[in-house]
Structure 1
Amino acid sequence: MKIAIVRLSALGDIIQSAIVLQFIKKFRQDIEIHWFIDERFKEILENHPHIDKLYALPLKNKKFFSSLKIAFEARKNHYDFVLDLQGLIKSALVSRILSLNNFGFDKDSLKESFAHNFYNQKLSIDYAENVFVRYLALAAFMLNAPFEPKDIYFKQPIFKADEELKNSLKQRFNLGEKNILIHVGSSVQNKIYPMTKLAILCKLLLHYDERLKIYLTWGNEKEKILAKRVLSLSKIDKENLVLLDKLSLKELIALTQLSSLVIGNDSGPTHLAFAMNKPSITIFGATPHYRNAFVTDINKTISIHKKIANVKHIDKSDFCIRNIDEEDIFSLAKDLLDER
């Protein structure tokens, strides 16, 4: 059996969607899996043991005709099933090109409801349902396989770090016995926790345990400025609070594996920690924590528990994330570190 998965973007969503890979392989080891991804994010899935072929579409540079050409060429693979985990018009169109036997969510279960017109088989599930439950429910629907949400608690790490790269990073960044990664940014402004509060959080953590080393990570120049601000505001010895160079996605995987705890906003790096079964705290504001993260004994969320009226249309002018007390994050972090 040969199937294609369409999940083009963005980084955090791709990381979360990858949970279906081990579920599919557990159902049938002989299933051949091809994944279609935006070229910008291909590194996160390159050489993944459960992916037999990765198709990178050059969507970043708006090379739509080139992307369509790749999809039409891939159609010759004669897929038994195509699974669209993105649920947007562009991903639905790609899935339709790949095969007429494609699976997606129905009209009421999508943000871009028109996308349902491109699917042959459609699953009805609340759009507000947890994303991991949605992805696995759609995969189970495609395979006619049993699935219970509790299965998520027993997942294996979705990504594995390269051992040689891990050793290189240990030396390069002089990693300590207990390492905390703090991701300062997000692609959406109102998902970013204030730098003043992050600086205080860093002080609290280092005062609590002098063996800790905190590493600040960033993904673009704007986020680098934010990370520098945390460093400046904290007035902490640079031996204990380190501003990292820009990491590749492979390096981010390796450094996540080497960390005792990952703290950050509702974004790719904290989702990666969950994917790798590493302790994490994800800070939520105007986005629904119950939908965008899965809470376990080691993966926690923190928010002001604001009721999100419409999860399909998040209010980007809502900066309620600023109301979260850094002391509450510290309390969660302390509990997770003590358990370690």
Structure 2
Amino acid sequence: MKIAIVRLSALGDIIQSAIVLQFIKKFKKNIEIHWFVDERFKDILKDHPLIDKIYPLPLKDKKITKTLKILFEARKNNYNVSIDLQGLIKSAIISRILNQNNFGFNKNSLKESFAHNFYNQKLNISYNENVFVRYLALISFVFNEEFDIKNIFFKKDVFYTDDILKEKLIQELKLKENKQNILIHVGSSAKNKIYPAKKFASLCKKIINNFPNLKILLAWGNLKEYEIAKEIQNFYPNDRIVLIRNLNLQELIALTKAVDLIIGNDSGPTHLAFALNKASITIFGATPSQRNAFTTEINKTIDAKKKILDAKHIDKNDFCIENIDENDIFKIAKELLNEK
């Protein structure tokens, strides 16, 4: 059996969607999986042991002719089924091009409801349902298998970790000199999803003062995030708070696996911690934590205690994340670090 998975973007969504791979292999051991992704994010899936072929698509540059050429060539693989995990009009069209026997969510389950017209088989599940439940429910629907939410707690690492690369980063960042290491991701895709630098600095200060053998690594992905990280350093200069260099996606996977705790906003790098079964705290503001994350004994969330009833309509001018007390984040961090 050969299937096509369509999950084009963004980084965090791809990271969360990839949980389906191990469940697919559990349902059907002898299956060939091809993944169609925006070429900007292809490296997060690089060398994945459960993906047989990756098709990077030049969507960002709007190279429509080249994209269509790739898709029509891929269609010759004669997929048994294509699955759209994204649920947008463009991803629905792509899944339809790849195979007429394609699966997606129904009209009421989508943000872009028109996308349902391009699916042959449709699943009805609330758009406000937890994203992991949505993805795995769709996969269960495709393969006519039972899905128990409890199985998420026993998932294996979602991504392959390059141990040689991990050891290089441990040496480069001198992580072995400390008893514990925290990786903090300062950015996110939207301004109102970013925790204030001053409060991040206050959090760092509390952690440093309470854990004398601990190092904090500040991670960033673009110039704006770099400036936020520098601002944190300026608020609280300390040689145990290190602004690291920009990492590629494979390095990000390796470093996430190497540290003891990851803290950050609702973003791909923080969701990666859950994917790799590493302790984490994800900070939510105007996005629904109960939908966008899955909590476990080591994966915690904190939010502004604001009820967000409809995830389809998020107010990007709502900066309630700024109201979250850094002391509350510290309490969770302290519990997780003391359990180590």
Category of TM-score, reference length = shorter chain? over 0.9
Please give the alpha-carbon distance, in whole angstroms, between the structure 1 residues aligned to 2:235 and 2:67.
45
Counterpart of 2:296?
296
Counterpart of 1:77?
77
- CA positional deviation for 1:309: 3.3
Counterpart of 1:180?
182
- CA positional deviation for 1:138: 0.1
Please give the alpha-carbon distance, in whole angstroms, between the structure 1 residues aligned to 2:317 and 2:310.
14
Counterpart of 1:62?
62
Residue pairs, 1:194-213, within 5 angstroms: 194-213=196-215
Please give the alpha-carbon distance, in whole angstroms, between the structure 2 residues aligned to 1:305 and 1:143.
38
Deviations 1:32-51 (A, max 9, x none): 00000000000000110000
Counterpart of 1:191?
193
- CA positional deviation for 1:158: 0.5
Question: Size of the alignment, in residue pairs?
Answer: 338
Please give the alpha-carbon distance, in whole angstroms, between the structure 1 residues aligned to 2:204 and 2:71.
47
Please give the alpha-carbon distance, in whole angstroms, between the structure 2 residues aligned to 1:171 and 1:277.
22
SS in 1 for 2:309: coil
Counterpart of 2:143?
143
**Given the alignment of the two structures, is residue 246 of structure 1 paired with residue 279 of structure 2, yes or no?**
no
**Given the alignment of the two structures, is residue 221 of structure 1 paired with residue 228 of structure 2, yes or no?**
no
- 8 Å Cα contact 2:49/2:160 also seen in 1: no
Q: Structure 1: which amino acid aligns with 2:276?
A: M
Please give the alpha-carbon distance, in whole angstroms, between the structure 2 residues aligned to 1:30 and 1:177.
43
5+ residue gaps, structure 1: none
Deviations 1:99-133 (A, max 9, x none): 00000000000000000000000000000000000
5+ residue gaps, structure 2: none
TM-score calculated relative to the size of structure 2? 0.98
Sequence identity, in percent?
65
Q: Structure 2: which amino acid aligns with 1:308?
A: I
- CA positional deviation for 1:159: 1.1
Counterpart of 1:20?
20
| RMSD, aligned CA | 0.7
- CA positional deviation for 1:177: 2.7
TM-score calculated relative to the size of structure 1? 0.98
Q: Structure 2: which amino acid aligns with 1:98?
A: L
Please give the alpha-carbon distance, in whole angstroms, between the structure 2 residues aligned to 1:84 and 1:338.
41
Q: Structure 1: which amino acid aligns with 2:206?
A: L
Please give the alpha-carbon distance, in whole angstroms, between the structure 1 residues aligned to 2:100 and 2:232.
51
- CA positional deviation for 1:203: 0.4
Runs of 4+ in 1 over 3 A off after TM superposition: none
Q: Structure 2: which amino acid aligns with 1:78?
A: N
Please give the alpha-carbon distance, in whole angstroms, between the structure 2 residues aligned to 1:117 and 1:284.
33
Q: Structure 2: which amino acid aligns with 1:119?
A: Y
SS in 2 for 1:321: helix
Please give the alpha-carbon distance, in whole angstroms, between the structure 2 residues aligned to 1:187 and 1:122.
29
